[in-house]
Each structure stands twice: as C-alpha cells, then as structure tokens.
Chain A
Amino acid sequence: MKHLTEYRDGEKAKRLAGEIQRLVTRPWAIMEVCGGQTHSIIRNGIDQILPDKIEMIHGPGCPVCVTPLDVIDKALAIASRPDVIFCSFGDMLRVPGSEGDLFKVKAAGGDVRVVYSPLDAVKIARENPDREVVFLAIGFETTAPANAMAVKLAHDQCVDNFSALVSHVLVPPAIEAIMNSPGNRVNAFLAAGHVCSVTGFDHYRPLCDRYKVPIVITGFEPLDLLDGIRRCVAQLESGSAAVENAYPRVVSEQGNVAAQTLLDEVFETTDRNWRGIGSIPHSGWRLRDTYRNFDAESKFDVAAICTRESTLCRAGDVLKGAIKPNQCEAFGKQCTPRTPLGATMVSGEGACAAYYNYGRLVPLNAPDTNVAEQA
C-alpha cells in the first residue's frame, strides 16, 4: 500500500509543519470533522508538531460516539430478544448504553454478531428464515450507501426477516450547527475525505459562502492532514474562504453519483439527536415509506425508549475550554472511564479520560501537557 510510506514521510511532515509555521501570524482554530482524522492526529502526534498558534478542535465526526444513548438502548432491547440475531460493526459492541453494552447482551445469551458489511446481515437473514435479523445501521454518508444497498436488497428479494435500526447522521448540517453555535470558535474546517468521496463537495459551497469559512476536503494520512491544515491557514491568513479539494486521489467534485441515487431512493432526511451535542435539524437519514417495513425501530416497537443523559456531566464546558476536566464536580467520582457520564470520559482520547488515565503523570491543576512530550 503506497500510502504506508508515501504519505507518512517524517521529513516531508516536518517540511509541511515548517510551511505552516511560516504562514501563520495569529491564532487559528481548525476543526477536523471526521473521527478518522481525529484518530490519525492523536495516533501520529500531528498536533505536537504544529505551531502553538494552531489549535485543532476535534469535531463531532465519529459516528460511534455521536450515536445517541437512546439508539444504543434500543439496540440493547432488540438484541436481548431470543428471536433476534443482532448484527453490528465491531466497534459498536462496546458503546455503553444506560444499562450496559452489546457485549453484556451477548454474555447473557443474546445472539450478537460482528459483520464487516450490512450485506452479510442480509445473507444471515436468508440463512435463518425462522429468526429476525437486525443490523445496526449507523454512520455518516460513508457507510450509508452499503446500508441502503442492504435494505434495498432485502426489499427486492423479499427477505422480510431482515431489518435495520437506522441512525445515520450527515456532515453539512453538523457544520452548520457548529457555525451557528454561540460558543463557536472554529475558523476553518477539514472536511472528511471519505464522506466527500460519496457525496462530492458541491454542497459545501453554500456553507463556505454563508459563513465565510474555509473548508478543505482532507484525507487521513499524516501528510494529507498537514496539507489540509496548511491550506486552511493559507486561506485564513489571506482572508479568503473557499472549498478546496486536498484529497483529489479519492474525491471528485460530483462524488459517487450511483451511491447518491441509491441513498436518495432508500433514505429521507430527518432531525437527529447527536450524543454529546444535542438535536440538529435535518441532520440524519431515516428509511423512506417504501422501505419502512425494514425499520427495526417500528418492527420491534422500541420507538418509545427515551433516555436522558446525565445532568451532572459538564463535558460541553470542558470541550469549549471553559473548565478543566478535574473542575467538574462528577470527575473521578460519579464519572470515570468505567462509568462514563459524557463523551469526554467515554472516549479513551477524550479530555476527561486523558486526565483520569494520566493524572498520575500530569498534575491535575497544571496546564494541559502531553505526557508523551516528556519522553
């Protein structure tokens, strides 16, 4: 795989960081929207080689993390039924709902299976006609086409024992919600390359024009991310705001037209609740009426499950930099990585979990430092 070497070259990374350093004259906050980009930034330590004036804000683009608590609780309720084979992508198995996770359901006898494609779930449904097979269909525009294909296939082949618990979310409304937020500090966005490989990027232009914010379509390798950041800084410093494609090897302006057609046939937009964020209008997809028979929420009568997140949690204030994690009253008491109340403690890379896990290394009243920098 060429990208393992070509886009991870340490010397080129330093050169790009140097270019960013030369360009930047004032503080800028850049949000990487996608969880995959966040993962790459943390894993490679990209934030450590950026100038101090550049702040990376981690966006709401991890579909696992923003799946609302009530969807997880609905998944647990359905998966606990003896007549159900519950299929999911791997990392959803360990997302805590209010009463446990899918691993817990599996350990209690539930038939929970990891699949690599929603089409595998349709196959399992064909092979088990006397069982109900449910697929947990979460994700952004990237995973949605395959999920749409699975529903359409089940519909066309009359696989009536297949259904999907759908909780798809969309990037552009999230960007709009962030820009409209009173506490917004974001000056530019790195848009998610894989999302744009499906959708193209024409629909980002109105956002760019309305909010005068640079949006750079960016990949996931270290050099991709540094190049995306460099382009954002160049635009910000010159006072321009445009949509730029820094990931042309994967993304075209029109995107995957066949996938878009399929998505439009199977899904329609709906308001969606985002864990750790709140409700964002028109930010999700649900099944159209034609495919409503394949909607697990209706089929298993779990629509009424409604879960409140903890009011003790001050993750929002932590994320906005208003308080340090240890200044939250619940920190280390009601809220720990074992019993997370909010997204920042749910995550191994979240600010609260980092403070909790590395508190023995970083004085809790000290400014944020990265323990790795001491190495």
Chain B
Amino acid sequence: MADKTPKSSRNGAGDPIDFGGPVCPVPLQDYPNVILGHGGGGKLSAELVEHVFLPAFKNDHLDVLRDSAVIQLTGQRLAMSTDSYVVRPLFFPGGSIGDLAINGTVNDLAMSGAKPLYLSAAFIIEEGFPIAELKRIADAMGAAARHAGVTVITGDTKVVEQGHGDGCYINTAGVGVVPDGIDIAPNNARPGDVVIVSGTLGDHGMAIMSVREGLEFDAKIQSDSAPLADMVAAITEVCPDVHVLRDPTRGGLAASLNEIAASSDCGIVIEETRLPIHPIVQSACEILGFDPLLVANEGKLVCMVPAAFAGAVLNAIQADKHGSNAAIIGHVVAEHPGVVVAKTVIGASRVVVTAIGEQLPRIC
C-alpha cells in the first residue's frame, strides 16, 4: 500500500492513489476490559466464556455449552439452567423483564427436551426503585410462571446503592425432567436434517430497540416473549428423535445456526425467501441496517429433525399457539462443515456469519 502519511507531512496532490473496496470494519476483539459487545451473544460473548469461564469451571457438563445442562440423578435425568435479565426498558410492547425472566429459563430447559418444573428468582434492585413497579414485575412473573406450568420455589433479594444498577436485575435458575429416550444437543445435527423455525424472526430485539431508541414505525413491534415447553413436548411426541433444539435469543438465528454447524461439524443451508419475518420488523431492520438473522428472539425455537419427520414436526409446531408462522427454512449438509450459507432472494449465496458483538445502526 502507498505511504499513508497524512497530508500534513507529505505533498498530497499527485500521490499515487490506491483504490478498491474498503468496506465496513470489524471491531477489535482484544479488549482489556469488558465491553457491551461481550454481552451481545456473538463472537465476543463466546470468547469470554471460552477464555475466562470454561477454564475456571472445566467439566464435561459445562463443556457441551447447551442451553441447559442435563444430569443423571437418582434414576432421573434432570435439566438445569440459569439466566440473568438486564433488559432496558423494564416494560416493553409484548412483555416485561418479569415475563422474560420466567420464559427465558423455561425455554432454556425446554431446549434439552425437558419438562420445566421449578424455578428460583433472585432480584438485584436499585435503591429508590418504586415498589409499585417491583410489584408489577413480580405479578408478571407469577402470571408467566402459571402460564408456563412452573413454580417459583426459592428466591433472593439484594438492594444496591442508587446509580449502581439499572432499576432491577433478575436472575432465574430452573430445573426440569428430561423424558426417557430424548437426546437433544447442539452437536447432534446430521446431514439431511431439515431446519425448522417456529415463527417470525427478530421481533423481540426490534421491539426493544424501537422503545429504547424512541424509533417510530408504522405499527408497534411486539416482543415475542413466550414459553415453549408445550411446543417442545408436541415436537418430541411426533418425533422422539429430534436432533437439535435451540432458543435463538442474543445473537439471533445466525448465532444459533453457526454454533450448531460448528459443534456438529456439518454445514447448514437456509433459504432467505423461506425465512418468516414480520414486514414491520423487516422494515425496521432495513432502516437501521440490521440483519434480522442477527436480532434476538425470546419466544422462538429452531430445530433440526430427520427429513422423514419434517412435515409432522412442522404441523405440531403450527398447532401450538406460539407457532402459527413456523416454516421449514433449510437443511443440514455434509459440505462446508462449520459454515452456514444462505441462498439469497435472487438465487445466489452468501455466508451467514455470527456478529462479533452487538449490531450497530449503520451509517452507510
């Protein structure tokens, strides 16, 4: 490349010009401090887990990196999971932090094929937070728990000084029972499997974005926060041999598919024309320069099932009240292991990559 000394120290005009295609930069990944992107569900999050937490806690259960761990206890297989909720704003179209705190952990358990049973709830509350709002959150959690068929049986409360929190953070942990004969894991995808998503993509992420940033669209975008345990039960009933179930939350469908492709050592091909995306969400993504495949969901699953069961599984999902927009979007292949490819709207192809951190609105 030609000398890039700024004009202040070179002649400027008449220098040879290097031209070509500098395009949107990727971020630096070597940070000495935690940045927000480390919580975005993309490559930075994965690196944090890989380099900080896995070495510290190393064990066979954790190393699989499932949505929930499955352990054998006194003749039964139990699934266990935990998740923390730090959403802002606390109340948004389609739900609240309370709904998320129940549904998120219920869904993490369900992705192992488990029937979720019991949850804990721990609150970190900022000094000065209105009791009335805390009650709204607790009531929402109670209602969500009843709807999901789980019971909150233990909890904890901590209060931090004003300015040291964001109103209210919640952690929930949960356990459930995995039925006999079910073996669902992210490394179980096999060439020939069909890829199914249970509904429209990106609803939750864009709902939060629209209220957080005060963006007005033609219609309100609603979060899709919902419990999926009943849907999973319906899937496993018609297809006990489900290979993979994943809950594409932070990082969106792209992160889930890339994790599955990598851990199963297979390729995945999806078709953009088959992706169910709500028109308002699509429009919002267009305006901000976001890829809906990278936007968070809170009430959707992606599953990989043998081709022979694809029709039955699709029907089972569509019969569930949270699955009416389910669609077959692609298949698992032996080629390009670890890589997810999308067939584009014009019949070409592109590689679907995982976001490094969080998506950012594009200027260009």
Chain A residues near B (Cβ < 8 Å): 1, 4, 8, 10, 13-14, 34-36, 38-39, 42-49, 57-66, 68-70, 89-96, 100-101, 103-104, 106-108, 114, 116, 138-140, 143, 177-178, 180-184, 222, 271, 273, 275-281, 306-311, 313-320, 337-340, 342-344, 346-351, 353, 357-358, 360-361, 370-375
When C-beta atoms are compared, the residue in chain A nearest to B277 turns out to be: A4
User: A283 vs B353: C-alpha distance in the bound complex, in angstroms?
Assistant: 34
A374→B7 contact, CB < 8 A: no
Given known A-B contacts A103-B37, A275-B22, A139 and B363 have beta carbons under 8 A apart: yes
CB neighbours of A313 from chain B (8 A): 1
A319→B279 contact, CB < 8 A: no
Could you tell me the distance in whole angstroms from the C-beta of A355 to the nearest C-beta in chain B? 13
CB neighbours of A306 from chain B (8 A): 5-6, 8-9
Which residues of B (190-237) have their CB < 8 Å from a CB of A? 213, 215
B360→A222 contact, CB < 8 A: no
Tell me whether B20 is interfacial, beta carbon within 8 Å.
yes
CB neighbours of B1 from chain A (8 A): 276, 309-311, 313-317, 342
Tell me whether B76 is interfacial, beta carbon within 8 Å.
no
Label chain A's interface by main secondary structure.
mixed
Tell me whether B364 is interfacial, beta carbon within 8 Å.
yes
- Top 5 A-B residue pairs of the complex, sorted by shortest distance between their CB atoms: A45-B348, A58-B21, A319-B20, A372-B349, A343-B22
B22→A350 contact, CB < 8 A: yes
Tell me whether B306 is interfacial, beta carbon within 8 Å.
no
Tell me whether B286 is interfacial, beta carbon within 8 Å.
yes
User: A44 vs B345: C-alpha distance in the bound complex, in angstroms?
Assistant: 7
Label chain B's interface by main secondary structure.
loop
CB neighbours of A143 from chain B (8 A): 363
CB neighbours of B364 from chain A (8 A): 34-36, 39, 61-64, 91, 139-140
B345→A35 contact, CB < 8 A: no
Partner of A276, one of B15, B18, B27, B356: B18
CB neighbours of B269 from chain A (8 A): 375
Tell me whether B131 is interfacial, beta carbon within 8 Å.
no
B25→A177 contact, CB < 8 A: no
Partner of A62, one of B3, B9, B22, B35: B22
12 A-B pairs with CB atoms under 8 Å apart are A1-B286, A35-B23, A46-B348, A58-B21, A64-B362, A90-B361, A140-B364, A177-B17, A275-B4, A351-B21, A353-B26, A372-B348
User: A314 vs B27: C-alpha distance in the bound complex, in angstroms?
Assistant: 21
CB neighbours of A38 from chain B (8 A): 21, 23
A58→B23 contact, CB < 8 A: yes
When C-beta atoms are compared, the residue in chain B nearest to A282 turns out to be: B13
A90→B362 contact, CB < 8 A: yes
Partner of A101, one of B5, B28, B215: B28
CB neighbours of A95 from chain B (8 A): 25
User: A186 vs B16: C-alpha distance in the bound complex, in angstroms?
Assistant: 16
User: A184 vs B335: C-alpha distance in the bound complex, in angstroms?
Assistant: 38
User: A8 vs B18: C-alpha distance in the bound complex, in angstroms?
Assistant: 33
Tell me whether B75 is interfacial, beta carbon within 8 Å.
no
Given known A-B contacts A103-B37, A308-B4, A278 and B16 have beta carbons under 8 A apart: yes
Given known A-B contacts A39-B24, A48-B348, A70-B6, A375 and B19 have beta carbons under 8 A apart: no
When C-beta atoms are compared, the residue in chain B nearest to A99 turns out to be: B28
Which residues of B (338-364) have their CB < 8 Å from a CB of A? 338-339, 341, 343-351, 353, 356-357, 360-364
Of B25, B336, B347, most buried by chain A (CB within 10 Å of CB) is B25
Tell me whether B12 is interfacial, beta carbon within 8 Å.
yes
A107→B34 contact, CB < 8 A: yes
Partner of A222, one of B10, B30, B346, B351: B346
A64→B25 contact, CB < 8 A: yes
When C-beta atoms are compared, the residue in chain B nearest to A177 turns out to be: B17
CB neighbours of A317 from chain B (8 A): 1
Could you tell me the distance in whole angstroms from the C-beta of B295 to the nearest C-beta in chain A? 14
CB neighbours of B362 from chain A (8 A): 39, 64, 89-91
Could you tell me the distance in whole angstroms from the C-beta of A206 to the nearest C-beta in chain B? 19
When C-beta atoms are compared, the residue in chain A nearest to B33 turns out to be: A107
User: A371 vs B338: C-alpha distance in the bound complex, in angstroms?
Assistant: 12
Could you tell me the distance in whole angstroms from the C-beta of B52 to the nearest C-beta in chain A? 15
Which residues of B (10-62) have their CB < 8 Å from a CB of A? 10, 12-13, 15-37
Beyond A8-B345, A309-B1, 7 additional contacts (C-beta under 8 Å) are: A44-B345, A45-B347, A48-B349, A184-B19, A277-B22, A278-B4, A319-B18
Given known A-B contacts A46-B346, A90-B361, A273 and B24 have beta carbons under 8 A apart: no
Given known A-B contacts A1-B286, A91-B363, A104-B33, A276 and B22 have beta carbons under 8 A apart: yes
Tell me whether B2 is interfacial, beta carbon within 8 Å.
yes
A346→B26 contact, CB < 8 A: yes
CB neighbours of B24 from chain A (8 A): 35, 39, 62, 64-65, 91, 347-349
A271→B27 contact, CB < 8 A: no
Tell me whether B95 is interfacial, beta carbon within 8 Å.
no
CB neighbours of B363 from chain A (8 A): 63-64, 89-92, 138-139, 143
Given known A-B contacts A48-B349, A65-B25, A108-B33, A93 and B360 have beta carbons under 8 A apart: yes
A281→B12 contact, CB < 8 A: yes
Could you tell me the distance in whole angstroms from the C-beta of B272 to the nearest C-beta in chain A? 9
Tell me whether B267 is interfacial, beta carbon within 8 Å.
yes
CB neighbours of A91 from chain B (8 A): 24-25, 289, 360-364
A307→B6 contact, CB < 8 A: yes
CB neighbours of A319 from chain B (8 A): 18-21
Given known A-B contacts A101-B27, A371-B339, A375-B341, A347 and B35 have beta carbons under 8 A apart: no
Partner of B28, one of A96, A106, A342, A349: A96
